[in-house]
Structure 1
Amino acid sequence: MLKLALAFLCLALVADAALIRVPLTKPNKRRSIKNLSTQRAVLRSKYSTNFVVSSEQLNNFLDDSYYGPITIGTPPQNFQVLFDTGSSNLWVPGASCAPTDSACQDHNTYNASASSTYQANGERFAIQYGSGNLAGYLVEDIVNLNGLAIEAQVFAVATSEPGNTFVNSEFDGILGMAYQKIAVDNVVPPFYNLYKQGLIETPVFAFYLTRNGSSTQGGEMTLGGIDSSHYVGELTYVPVSIEGYWQFTMDSVIINGLNICVECAGIADTGTSLLAVPTSIYESVQNAIGAQSDGEGDYMVDCSLTNTLPIVTFNIGGTAFNLSSAEYIVEVEANNGSVLCMSAFEDADTNLWILGDVFIGQYYTVFDMGQNRVGFALAAQNSTTGGSSIGSSSYIFGIIVPIVVGFYGLWLNKN
C-alpha cells in the first residue's frame, strides 16, 4: 500500500508541475480620456461586422492591459506581450523597423540575426487597425513561455506600427489565444503548439486578473489547467457557439429589472479593457445605468452618485453574474487633469457583447479548448469567504489523493 501511496504522490507532483503559472503585469496608472478614441477605433476594427478571416484584428487598451513576459530565440530575447483571447497571432516589433516609427523604437525588438534558432519564412504579414496597417513579415523561432519552449513557432515581426495605437502601450507585442480560424495566414497559434508538442497536459488556460493590483501584481494566467484557489464556489461552463473568438450565448442581461437582451452572443476577451455593447442597444444600456453623453462619444455619471446606480446582471449558463456600479464605473483622467467617472460600457459597433477585463477581473475565466467551452466563477479576491483549496486536477491529485491513500494505508496496516 505504501508503494501505491508513493505512486499517487508521484502523480501529484507531475500534475502540479504541469500547471504553468505566468504572472501578469498591468500599468499602475489611471486611464486617460484622451486615449479612448484610439481604444474605440481598435475595438471596432477587431470586431467589425465586415470581418474577413484573412484580416487580423487585434486590440490594445493603453491604460488597463494585462501582459506578461516571454522570450524568443537563442539566446533568449525578452518581450512583454498582451495575452489576448480576442485574437490568434503572436507578433512583436522587429529590429529592422524604421527610425521614425516611435511605437517600434520605444519597445523591445526582435533581431533575427542574433538568434541561432531563427528560420526564415518569407511571407508578408499585415493587420488592419482603426488608425492604419501594422505591417511586417513571418519568421520561425523558439518561443518560451515561463520555461515552456515552443519549437519552430511561426510569428510576425512588425516593421511598421500604425499611428499612435501602440506608442504608449506598456507591452511590446501581442500573443493571441483565440482559435486558429481567425489567425492571419492560418498561422498555428502558440497555445496550439504548447499542447501539440506535449508541453502542457490539457488544452486549458485560465485568467485571474487583480482589479486593484499593482503594476507588478496584475494577476496570473495558468496554462494546462486551472487554480481553484483563485475562485469561489463552482465554475459555470457554457459551450463555445462559434470557434473563432471565444464566443458563447448568454441567457440574458438585466439592468434595474429591465431585460436588455435575451439569448445574446457574448465573447470573453482579455484584450478588451472595458465592456462592449451591441450598437442596437448601446444607448439603452447607458440610459438604464443613468449615464449621460458628454458629446464626444463617452458616457459619464456624477461621481457622487456612483454608489446609487443599479446592478447589472449577466445570466450565463443558468448562473447570475452581477456587476455593481463600483465595477462598471471607472475613473478617468480628463485632459485638464481632473478625475471623471465614466461608464465602462462602450459601443462594440457590432451585435456582440464583448466581456473584457472589467468583467474578467471580477470573474475567474477558464478557456477550455479541449471541450470547446468557457467557464466563469467569482474571483477569490472579490469574496469574503476566500477561495477553495480543491477543484482543479492539480489540486485534487496534489492534495486529496496522497492524504486519502496515506490514511487508507495506515488502516490496512492496523487491521
Structure 2
Amino acid sequence: MKFPFKAFLSILFVVLPSADASPLRRDTGKATLSFAARVNARGAVNVADADRARAQAMKQAGSMGKRAGRSSFTIANGVVTYTAQVGIGSPATEYTLLIDTGSSNTWLGASAPYNPTSTSVDTGNTVSVSYGSGKFSGEEYTDTVTLSTGLVIAEQYIGVASSADGFDGVDGILGVGPADLTEGTVSNVNTVPTVTDNLYSQGIIGTETLGIYFVPPSVPDSAGELTFGGHDGSKTTSSVTYFPLTTTTPASYYWGIDQSISYGHSTILSETAGIVDTGTTLILIASDALSKYQTATGATMDETTGLLMITSGQYDKLKTLTFKIGGQAYGLTPNAQIWPRSLNADIGGASDSIYLIVGDIGSNSGSGLDFINGYAFLQRYYSVFDTTNNQVGFATTPHTDATCN
C-alpha cells in the first residue's frame, strides 16, 4: 500500500492481528487492540518539514476557536504507517481506516464505496473536514461500527464521502481525538460523538479513556496497543500519573498540557502550553528553545533530513532531556534523543550519521502551543488520554531507558 507523502502530515502505524485468534483482549470494562509498526522504505522523507507543517496548521486551526469550521489533522508520514480494518453495517463491510488521535470524525468512501445495509441511516446532514493537505465532504450517516469482537458500536455517526482528496490507498479515518474537534464539521448539529464517546455511553467500556503503548521501531518485537476504557498495566513499570489539560489556547483544543523542558541542569523552555500528539513524529519545541538545545549539544543542521546532527563524540556527551509536568520529571536518555540509526536511510540520512529527534515547531515561545510531545516521546512513555476527567497521564515502560537506537 502506497501513501503519497504530500497527502499527509506526520506518523502512522499498521494494526495487525496478534498471535491469538483475535487481536482483542477484554478485561472488565476495557478492551485492547494490538498493532505493530511497519516501515515503508520509500526514499527520503523530510520528517521535520512534515511535522512543522502539521504543527503550524494545528496552531492556525486552534486559533480560529470553536464554531469556526476548525480543521482536523491526520497522522501520517512516509516512514511508518498504521491502519485498522473496521466493519461498517450489518452484515459488516470492512474498510481500511487510519487511526487518528488528532481528529475526531469517523468517515469512509475515499477509496471503496459505502455499502449501506439495514442499519444504515442517512441523517440528511452534510459533513466537511479539511486535513491540511487532504479533505473530504459528503453525507453524514449513522451505522453499526465493528472495531473487533466485543467492540461493536450501534448508531455511530460516520461520514460518507462524495468527494475526497489526498487519501489514496485508504478508505477514510477512524477519529479518536477530542469530540470538540467535530464542531462545525456536520450541518445542523453542534458536535458528533466519537467512537470512544459511544463505546462509553453504550456501556462497552467503563471509562472514556484511551491508553496507548508505543514501542521504538528498532525493538525486535515492536507490537503496540490501543486500550479503550483504561490502560494496560502489564505494559507499564510505574503507576500512571495524571495531569490536567491546559487552559491556554490553542493548545487547549487538543490534548494540551503545561510543561517545562531542561537539558542537563539548564532550562531551555520555561513552563508553557503545548500538546501531546501521536500524529507528530518528533518532539517539536519553540524556535528559541531549539536554539538553546542546539548550542548545548553542539549539533549542526542537516538540510537533507531537516534534523539536527551530532558526531559520535557529541553523542557520548549528551545529557538527559527532561520534561517537567506538574512537578513530575520525565527524562529522555541520550539514546532516546536520537533517531533510530537503523531507519536513517528511510529519511534520506547517511547510515553512519546520528540525528536528534528534537525539532523546530516554527515559532518562538509564547504562541500558546510551544511544544509537541510526539511519537519520539511517547515510544518511551505509556500515555493515557482521559476524556472523563479531562486529563492526560504517563507511566514508564520497559523501553523508557532502552538503548535500542
Amino acid corresponding to residue 24 of structure 1 in structure 2:
F
Pair 1:156-2:159 in alignment:
yes
Pair 1:343-2:356 in alignment:
yes
Matches within 5 A, 1:119-130: 119-130=121-132
Q: For 2:81 and 2:59, how far apart are their aligned partners in 1?
A: 18
CA drift at 1:174: 2.8
Q: Counterpart in 1 of 2:103?
A: 87
- Contact 1:24 1:216 (C-alpha < 8 Å) held by counterparts: no
- Secondary structure (helix, strand or coil) at the match of 1:270 reads coil
Change in Cα spacing, 1:18 to 1:75, as seen in structure 2 (3 Å) is: same
Amino acid corresponding to residue 18 of structure 1 in structure 2:
G
Which deviations, in whole Å up to 9, do the C-alpha atoms of 1:153-190 show, x marking residues without a partner? 11223444445xx44x7x65332323222223322111
CA drift at 1:193: 0.9
Pair 1:278-2:286 in alignment:
yes
Change in Cα spacing, 1:117 to 1:35, as seen in structure 2 (3 Å) is: farther
Higher relative contact order (CA 8 A, sep 6+): 1
Q: Counterpart in 2 of 1:177?
A: 176
Change in Cα spacing, 1:334 to 1:226, as seen in structure 2 (3 Å) is: closer
CA drift at 1:210: 1.4
Q: For 2:218 and 2:294, how far apart are their aligned partners in 1?
A: 28
Matches within 5 A, 1:36-51: 36=47, 37-48=49-60, 50-51=63-64
- Contact 2:46 2:347 (C-alpha < 8 Å) held by counterparts: no
Matches within 5 A, 1:11-22: 16-22=27-33
- Between stretches 209-218 and 318-327, larger displacement belongs to 209-218
- Secondary structure (helix, strand or coil) at the match of 2:226 reads strand
Q: For 1:68 and 1:328, how far apart are their aligned partners in 2?
A: 29
Pair 1:373-2:380 in alignment:
no
CA drift at 1:134: 3.5
- Between stretches 337-346 and 68-77, larger displacement belongs to 337-346
Q: For 1:284 and 1:31, how far apart are their aligned partners in 2?
A: 33
Number of residue equivalences: 352
Higher helix residue share: 1
Matches within 5 A, 1:118-267: 118-147=120-149, 148-163=151-166, 166-167=167-168, 172-183=171-182, 184-185=185-186, 186-212=191-217, 217-242=222-247, 244-250=253-259, 252-267=260-275
Q: For 2:74 and 2:33, how far apart are their aligned partners in 1?
A: 20
Q: Counterpart in 2 of 1:77?
A: 93
Change in Cα spacing, 1:132 to 1:374, as seen in structure 2 (3 Å) is: closer
- Contact 1:232 1:377 (C-alpha < 8 Å) held by counterparts: yes
Amino acid corresponding to residue 372 of structure 2 in structure 1:
I
Q: For 1:372 and 1:116, how far apart are their aligned partners in 2?
A: 37
Indicate the structure (1 or 2) with the bigger Cα radius of gyration.
1
1:57 to 72, 83, 97: 72
Change in Cα spacing, 1:127 to 1:325, as seen in structure 2 (3 Å) is: farther
| TM-score normalised by structure 1 residue count | 0.74
Change in Cα spacing, 1:298 to 1:204, as seen in structure 2 (3 Å) is: same
- Contact 1:286 1:299 (C-alpha < 8 Å) held by counterparts: no
Q: Counterpart in 2 of 1:320?
A: 329
| Structure 2 gap segments, 5+ residues each | 1-25
Change in Cα spacing, 1:307 to 1:221, as seen in structure 2 (3 Å) is: farther
Which deviations, in whole Å up to 9, do the C-alpha atoms of 1:344-402 show, x marking residues without a partner? 22333453311111111110111222222111111134468xxxxxxxxxxxxxxxxxx
- Secondary structure (helix, strand or coil) at the match of 2:268 reads strand
Amino acid corresponding to residue 75 of structure 2 in structure 1:
N
- Contact 2:44 2:305 (C-alpha < 8 Å) held by counterparts: no
Change in Cα spacing, 1:372 to 1:207, as seen in structure 2 (3 Å) is: same
Q: For 1:64 and 1:334, how far apart are their aligned partners in 2?
A: 9
- Contact 2:238 2:397 (C-alpha < 8 Å) held by counterparts: no
- Between stretches 195-204 and 281-290, larger displacement belongs to 281-290
CA drift at 1:284: 3.1
Which deviations, in whole Å up to 9, do the C-alpha atoms of 1:116-157 show, x marking residues without a partner? 322113433333343353334322211122231111111223
Amino acid corresponding to residue 212 of structure 2 in structure 1:
F
- Contact 2:305 2:347 (C-alpha < 8 Å) held by counterparts: no
Amino acid corresponding to residue 129 of structure 2 in structure 1:
I
| TM-score normalised by structure 2 residue count | 0.76
Q: For 1:59 and 1:268, how far apart are their aligned partners in 2?
A: 14
- Contact 2:336 2:401 (C-alpha < 8 Å) held by counterparts: no
Q: For 1:214 and 1:232, how far apart are their aligned partners in 2?
A: 17
Matches within 5 A, 1:88-127: 88-92=104-108, 94=109, 104-105=110-111, 109-113=112-116, 115-127=117-129
Q: Counterpart in 2 of 1:301?
A: 309
Q: Counterpart in 2 of 1:354?
A: 372
| Structure 1 gap segments, 5+ residues each | 1-14, 95-103, 385-415
CA drift at 1:314: 0.4
Which deviations, in whole Å up to 9, do the C-alpha atoms of 1:302-349 show, x marking residues without a partner? 463444323210011222111123223214327877445433223334
Percent of pairs identical after alignment? 30
Amino acid corresponding to residue 344 of structure 1 in structure 2:
I
Change in Cα spacing, 1:374 to 1:285, as seen in structure 2 (3 Å) is: same
- Between stretches 73-82 and 335-344, larger displacement belongs to 335-344
Amino acid corresponding to residue 180 of structure 2 in structure 1:
K
Change in Cα spacing, 1:135 to 1:306, as seen in structure 2 (3 Å) is: farther
